[in-house]
Amino acid sequence: MLELAHLIAGPVCGMYLADMGADVVKIEHPVGGDAARAVYERRPDGESPVFLTVNRNKRSVALDLSRPEGLAIFARLAERADVIIEAYRGGVAERLGIDYERLAMVNPRLVYCSLSAFGPSGPWRDKPGVDMLVQAMGGLMAISGEPDGGPVLCGAPVVDTIGALLAALGIVTALLDRERRGEGQRVDVSLLDGALLAHAARLSVFLQTGKDPGRHGSAHPYIVPFQAFAARDGWIYVAVWVDRLWQPFCAAIERPALAADPRFATRESRLANRKELVGFLEGIFRERTVGEWMASLEAQDVLCAPVNRYADLPDDPQVRASGMIVEEEHPRAGRFRTLNTPVRLEKTPGGIRTPAPALGEHTEAVLREAGLEAVEIARLRSVGVIA
């Protein structure tokens, strides 16, 4: 698999497939390489934790695609590739001459995935984009935030990750189809499409009713109580998502009479009296700690969870049990904590096999695999086509 992508979305797609065993060759510019090497928070040793995480299990080839010789080398690699993922701005692959139509003529079994911000058609086709712009344009930001505040950005680039996983799913589906029909195909995934899918549970209601859900902070637009409450020592999230849990919830907070109050007895009545009910519950939840409330609510089988900070996650018993936070050894960064692969296969499990590569670390090895001789590789390095 050849990866032509930087920052988050494309590299996370490549990371997932590499975790599962794909030989992912990351094509980077000889000067600087993937922008993620430099634009995010960097460790004292100069390494980027983001780059180290989303580029493990890959090989790096430093190749200048703006040079004719660089393009010729890429074409040789593409002839042998099973998959290409490119996350260029619209039109760039075509201008370089490495678009699907051209490469499929020499490699009809190629699966070619284009991962873009806004998709292959429409007025924004050639517009550059990042996660935050797509959150704004795709409607997610408008429904996030407090009722009396402005739009709020999700604290993590979740749209990038959704796009990455949709791209990986598209690639795997196309590879399965290739096994059946014997030929590859183009796969198109946009962050915008992924963002629209991400809030299907809200957008689908709007498309039927025309009623905007608005902003409700941590609360649910259609169910009450379904939000975070401040406890004595932190925050707890509570979800009374069906009427049958209302009475157990009232028992858990030691207000059994509240269950029969006609203002709150049904989902519809609780929604109609949201402000009054939430104000009452806010005073109650401040009386105890998160741990005390968790014990009381869990005893009644009411959905609840602590609102963990990043600092809480490594020591959370369920996070520890998930195995998602692991330690990795890196030749330059040393030993550090990172994230594991999130899909567990019983018979062919994925995992971290090799550390994120240095820029161009595998250039010579990959070019030798493509049939280039040592003399030619040395000449290309001397003129700056490779590094």
By annotation, the residues acting in catalysis are: 160
The pLDDT of residue 115: 96
Beta strands in the chain (DSSP E): 2-4, 24-28, 58-62, 83-86, 111-116, 186-190, 226-230, 235-239, 303-306, 325-330, 334-339
pTM, entire model: 0.92
pLDDT in the model for residue 264 = 96
CA dihedral of 158, 162, 168, 172, whole degrees rounded to 10:
150
Q: What is the pLDDT of residue 303?
A: 96
| In the chain, ranges of CATH 3.30.1540.10 domains | 226-307
Average pLDDT over residues 217-242: 96
Averaged over 136-140, what is the pLDDT? 94
Q: Mean pLDDT over residues 201-221, rounded? A: 93
Confidence of residue 181 (pLDDT cuts 50, 70, 90): very high
CATH 3.40.50.10540 domain range(s) in the chain? 2-198+320-382
Q: Are 232 and 289 in contact (CB under 8 A)?
A: yes
Residues 371-383: tens digit of each pLDDT: 999 999 999 999 9
Exposure string over 287-321, b if 16+ CB within 10 A, otherwise e: ebebeebbebbeeeebebbbebeeeeeeeeeeeee
DSSP label of 8: S
For the domain covering 2-198+320-382, report its CATH number. Answer: 3.40.50.10540
> Average pLDDT for residues 180-203, to the nearest whole number?
95
User: What confidence tens digit (pLDDT) does each residue in 275-328 have?
Assistant: 999 999 999 999 999 999 999 999 999 999 999 999 999 999 999 999 999 999
Q: What is the pLDDT of residue 44?
A: 65
Confidence (pLDDT) at 140: 93
- Residue type for position 324: M
Tell me what the pLDDT averaged over the chain comes to.
94
Contacts of 229 (CB under 8 A, 6+ apart): 235, 236, 237, 238, 281, 282, 285
> Is 45's pLDDT higher than 80?
no
CA distance 126 to 94: 12
Q: Which fold has domain 226-307?
A: formyl-coa transferase, domain 3 (3.30.1540)
